[in-house]
Amino acid sequence: MEQIELQVNNREILGKKVRFLRRQGVTPVHLFGHGIESLALQCDTTRLHRVLTEAGQTRLINLNVGNEKEVRPVVVRDVQVEPRTGETLHVDFYQVKMAEQVRMDVPIILVGEAPALKFKDNSLVQELSTLHVECLPAIIPASVELDVSSLIEAEQVLRVEDIVLDKEVVILNDPEQVVVKISSRPIEKIEEVAEAVEVEEGVEVAEAPEATPAAEEE
């Protein structure tokens, strides 16, 4: 797999003044990690967006800091986005040690087709979207696939224990936690509504039929 690299530089502008950086196409970033000095950094916004799209929050990124000779292996820890405009405001990178285990949230991707969905009253509900794992940085999975083709009837579920990964990747979630299930849609009970009868002069008004109450739910 091709390595992802990102050039960053030291940042002297701090606080609210970083908005001037963003106007110039530069995004403020922050680097931290266990046993290292935290650094205020900045990088080209366009390049940063490409890297974030490619790496997500699981793949390793080789961070080139200023004129340092050695790259720093990092993962994306947090991305702050302006909710109205979608502008990237700030990114936190976490520097990892290649010989030490790290804990990450990895997205769960559903694959295959569930036969139960052939019945119109059934729906597929994903209750868990990420898996919490522990492994060495070099083998962090980009995503985890779960095949749903074994779901053939309503109320069937797949749990964390049904996910199979390499033995070097430890799953930290409760094995009994439900990942996906087949839910049967409730049949909507329609209450009959009596139509209003227009009263016309000289015409006898017929009594409206009594509305049938909806069946009481258990």
Whether the predicted pLDDT of 65 surpasses 60? yes
Please state, for a pLDDT cut of 90, what percent of the chain lies above it: 70
H runs (alpha helix) in the chain: 19-23, 45-55
Note the pLDDT tens digit of each residue in 126-145: 999 999 999 999 999 999 99
Question: What CATH superfamily is the domain 4-95?
Answer: Ribosomal Protein L25; Chain P (2.40.240.10)
The CA radius of gyration of the chain, in Å to the nearest whole number, is 28
Listed in order, the ranges of the chain carrying CATH 2.170.120.20 are 102-184
For 126, phi and psi rounded to 5 degrees?
A: -95, 115
Q: How far apart are CA 31 and CA 87, in angstroms?
A: 20
Q: Round the average pLDDT of the chain to a whole number and report it.
A: 86
Identity of the highest mean pLDDT range in 4-18, 111-125, 184-198: 111-125
169: its two tokens: 């990747």
Listed in order, the ranges of the chain carrying CATH 2.40.240.10 are 4-95
55: its two tokens: 């790496």
CATH number for 102-184: choose from 3.40.50.300, 3.40.30.10, 1.10.3720.10, 2.170.120.20. Answer: 2.170.120.20
Is residue 93 within 8 Å of 30, Cβ to Cβ?
Answer: yes
How confident is residue 26, by pLDDT bands cut at 50, 70 and 90?
Answer: very high
How confident is residue 30, by pLDDT bands cut at 50, 70 and 90?
Answer: very high
Note the pLDDT tens digit of each residue in 162-214: 999 999 999 999 999 999 999 987 645 434 444 444 444 454 444 444 443 44
pTM value is 0.74
